[in-house]
Structure 1
Amino acid sequence: MHRPTIFQEDNLDKLVAFMQAHSFATLVSTVEGVPFATHIPLVVTESDGVVTLVGHLAKGNPHWQAFDIAESLAIFTGAHAYISPTLYEKYESVPTWNYIAVHAYGTPKIITFKDAPEQMDQMIDEMVDTYEASYKSQWHSLSGAFRTGMMKGIVGFKMAVTRLEGKYKLSQNRSLIEQHTISDALLQSADPSAQGVGQEMQQNLE
Structure 2
Amino acid sequence: MYRPTAFQEDNVDKLVSFMRTNSFATLVSIVDGIPCASHIPLVVTLQEDVVKLIGHLAKQNPQWQAFDAAESLAIFTGAHAYISPSLYEKHESVPTWNYIAVHAYGIPKIITFNDTPETMDNMIDEMIDTYEADYKLHWHGLSDGFREGMMNGIIGFEMTVTRLEGKYKLSQNRSQTEQQNVSKALLQSPDAATRAVGAEMKQNLETNN
Q: TM-score range by the shorter chain?
A: over 0.9
Q: Deviations over 1:117-162 (max 9, x none)?
A: 0000000000000000000000000000000000000000000000
3-state DSSP of counterpart to 1:86: helix
Q: Structure 1: 5+ residue runs without aligned partners?
A: none
Written as runs of structure 1 = structure 2, the 5 A alignment for 1:121-200 is 121-200=121-200
**Code of the aligned partner of 1:164:** L
C-alpha distance in 1, partners of 2:173/2:179? 9
What is the match of residue 91 of structure 2? Answer: 91
Written as runs of structure 1 = structure 2, the 5 A alignment for 1:1-206 is 1-206=1-206
Q: CA deviation at 1:193?
A: 0.8
Q: CA deviation at 1:103?
A: 0.2
3-state DSSP of counterpart to 2:173: coil
**Code of the aligned partner of 1:139:** W
C-alpha distance in 2, partners of 1:17/1:57? 24
**Code of the aligned partner of 2:102:** V
3-state DSSP of counterpart to 1:60: coil
C-alpha distance in 2, partners of 1:195/1:50? 33
Q: Deviations over 1:25-78 (max 9, x none)?
A: 000000011100000000000000000000000000000000001000000000
Provide TM-score, normalisation by structure 2: 0.98
C-alpha distance in 2, partners of 1:134/1:198? 34
C-alpha distance in 1, partners of 2:99/2:121? 36
Structure 1 outlier segments of 4+, above 4 Å:
none
Provide TM-score, normalisation by structure 1: 1.00
**Code of the aligned partner of 1:92:** E
RMSD: 0.3
C-alpha distance in 1, partners of 2:132/2:189? 32
Q: CA deviation at 1:194?
A: 0.5
C-alpha distance in 2, partners of 1:188/1:121? 47
Q: CA deviation at 1:182?
A: 0.3
Q: CA deviation at 1:180?
A: 0.5
3-state DSSP of counterpart to 1:29: strand
C-alpha distance in 2, partners of 1:191/1:95? 18
Q: Structure 2: 5+ residue runs without aligned partners?
A: none
3-state DSSP of counterpart to 1:68: coil
